[in-house]
Structure 1
Amino acid sequence: MIIDTHQHVFWHGRDDAGLIADLDEHSIDLAWLLTWEIASTEDSPAYHHVLNPEHLRPDGTHAGIVLADLIKARDRYPDRFVLGYCPHPCLGDAPALLEAAHRMHGARVCGEWKFRMLFDDPRCLNLYRKAGELGMPVVLHLDVPYLNDKATGRPVYQPNWYGGTVANLERALQACPETTFIGHAPGFWREISGDADQAASHYPEGPLAPGNRIEHLLERYPNLYADLSAGSALRALKRDVAFSRNLLERFQNRFLFARDYYGGELMAFLRQMDLSDSAWSAIVHGNAQRLVPLDAETVPASTMTLS
């Protein structure tokens, strides 16, 4: 079995049938579908071309990847999708909305958390604690608010930031030890190198410097996992393949196969890494099944006998 733990629907030009076709093409049995609620004050028109135009607001801002689309897709393909949902912590009673989605619609994952606020904002902590109470892992998108200017070294503000810094992530991990978090996105994966704070790009390249924070966080916080989705993870892993293989082997019970898009580039790279059987099984399905146990209704019939 292969589980894609970070996926969206009605996204990048594909509807739910298009996503199923892509899963089939790459022999992926199941996908976690995640929302992305966009407040009108956080809208970025640069994303509009990859989102469902049905959800454009009258004021020209976009509502994002909404729960209703995910429910529609899950109900059409109940044995292929696990429902996720993350309400905006600033809009309404987010913990109550999360619990309602869990009880009414069977949401199993709190994600994607992708908002222009700090991870350790009290309103976010309340949401995380509810997710922990409900047994829902929280998928966090981290994009830092500042990058260093290449010429001067001075910090340059990044308007499309989400979560703050790895320090804000660490405080959330400390504040909510009963909640499982899944790190994701450029701000998280740049921490594979110890010189991340000096980076002038969201996607740093070149040799890795010692003292990376990803290992530090995984060692210190058993409630932290990481998904391998999007170009951010793949680019980070390719910076030093030998180091990355050792990292995946050492923390094999904490990494999750995930794409956030389509295609087979990540799977091909993981196969080339020649991981141990135990690491491979844990990453491509075992860890996901441990975090979100599957019942008979959500296990594809073709895999019912597989471990």
Structure 2
Amino acid sequence: MPDFPLIDSHQHVFWNGRDDYGLVADLDEHRIEKAWLLTWDEPKSEATGTYMQRMDPRHKLNGSVETMIPLHNIIDVARRFPDRFIAGYCPHPMDPHAVDKLQAAVDIHGVQVCGEWKFTMMFDDPRCLEIYRYAGTRNLPVVLHLDVAYLPPNGGAFVGHGQWKGGGIDTLIRALEACPDTNFIGHAPGFWREMAADADNYPEQYLKPPMKIGGRLPDVFDTYPNLYADLSAGSALKTLMADPENAYAFLTRFEDRLLFARDYYGGELIAFLDSLNLPDSTWRKIGRENAEKLIANTAPPNSAPLRKLGL
């Protein structure tokens, strides 16, 4: 366990069996000072797999369209626990008022993060680029979920992936080039699979041993200084655990661009990072300093940040 309080830069509320009080208890248990609370504005009608078993069944918008994790949940909880949460929001890019809604969320509610971008469309869709560019003008980092639409041939079949979001790494690269003044934080299986040396032919959603870290992702980090990544969920942890020796080299090489994050509960990531015996300066950057840096200039000029609006 590090000797400083952590910041969890990728978290949600009212899902996976816990309410807001359960989430705060988990933060306390693992000495996490604050968490970024992110929306997921995709309609529940587009849910696949077992997602609906893990989502709050209460919310509806306009009496009909249900979204996975709505903004009002984030705002309510951030106001209830003003010292524990940073509010994030990413409107659905297909909404013609998406940019206006993001602006209103910043100005009215003190939102400091654009996220989570998690939609069944290409990441570099022109409607998405408009959101990213506006986020850049307000210094909001964009937290993104990337998962490929198809997995490579497995047993002779070209396997479609029903939970795809954003497409492949090429869509992210085009967005990085189109929005150089916006910081992006990569996440999810489609992002981390690019640590495999032969990602285009890797047949599984998640990387697993035996596997050597390499691939295209380090080169993308080197080429685009506006790319960051969070270490949340099984996608990042499984990638790092598949090759601990090279994981150490990757974490120290990009210590200024990586963020501690979980997207769930528990201390598995903390235990793994501790086991690597990272330099203290690296642990601090990943554990909290990079998250603080990315939102240091996001407080909206015409409204009070959420942390000052405790109820």
TM-score (norm 2): 0.91
What does 1:256-275 align with in structure 2 at a 5 Å threshold?
256-275=259-278
- Counterparts of 2:136 and 2:185 in 1: how far apart (Å)? 13
Which amino acid is 1:287 matched to?
A: N
Q: Which runs of 4+ in 1 moved over 6 A?
A: 57-61, 294-297
Tell me by how many angstroms 1:35 deviates: 0.2
Contact 1:183 1:224 in 2 (8 A): yes
1:81 & 1:211 partners in 2: Cα distance?
34
Counterpart of 1:277?
A: 280
> What's the counterpart of residue 21 of structure 2?
17
Instruction: Give the distance between the partners of 1:102 and 1:49, measured in 2 at CA.
Output: 31
User: How far apart are the structure 2 equivalents of 1:274 and 1:204?
Assistant: 23
Contact 2:207 2:235 (C-alpha < 8 Å) held by counterparts = no
Show CA shifts across 1:149-184 (max 9, x none).
3211x4321122100100111000000000000000
SS in 2 for 1:149: strand
Aligned length: 298
Partner of 2:86: 82
Match of 1:92 in 2: 96
How far did 1:60 drift? 8.5
User: Which residue of the partner structure matches residue 223 of structure 1?
Assistant: 226
Is 1:187 equivalent to 2:216 in the alignment?
A: no
Q: How far apart are the structure 1 equivalents of 2:257 and 2:123?
A: 20
TM-score for the superposition, normalised by structure 1: 0.92
- Aligned residues of 2:48 and 2:162 also touching (Cα < 8 A): no
Compared CA separation, residues 27 and 243, structure 1 to 2 (3 A):
same
1:249–1:131 distance in 2 versus 1, CA, 3 Å: same
Deviation string 1:74-121 (CA, Å, 9 cap, x unpaired) is: 000000000000000002311111111000000000000000111110
Q: Which residue of 1 aligns with 2:108?
A: 104
The answer on whether the counterparts of 2:213 and 2:246 sit within 8 Å (CA) in structure 1 is no
Say which is worse superposed, 66-75 or 196-205, in terms of deviation: 196-205
* Structure 1 segments unaligned to the other structure (5+ residues): 300-307
CA contact (8 A) 1:29 1:80 kept: yes
Deviation at 1:59, TM superposition (A): 9.5
CA distance in structure 1 between the partners assigned to 2:256 and 2:62 by the alignment: 45
Cα distance in structure 2, aligned partners of 1:96 and 1:159: 30
Do the aligned residues in 2 keep the contact of 1:195 with 1:209 (CA within 8 Å)? no
> What is the match of residue 294 of structure 2?
291
Counterparts of 1:34-113 in structure 2, within 5 Å, are: 34-39=38-43, 42-44=46-48, 46-55=50-59, 62-113=66-117
What is the CA RMSD across the aligned residues, in angstroms?
2.0
2:50 partner SS: helix
Report the secondary structure of 2:221's partner residue: helix
Q: Is the 8 A contact 1:43 1:62 kept in 2?
A: no
Q: Which has the higher contact order (CA 8 A, sep 6+)?
A: 2
- Structure 2 unaligned spans of 5+: 300-304
Does the 8 A contact of 2:44 with 2:68 survive in 1? no
Aligned to 2:302: none
Once the two structures are aligned, what percentage of the paired residues are identical?
51
1:216 positional shift: 0.9
Q: Which residue of 2 aligns with 1:302?
A: none
Q: Does 1:212 align with 2:215?
A: yes
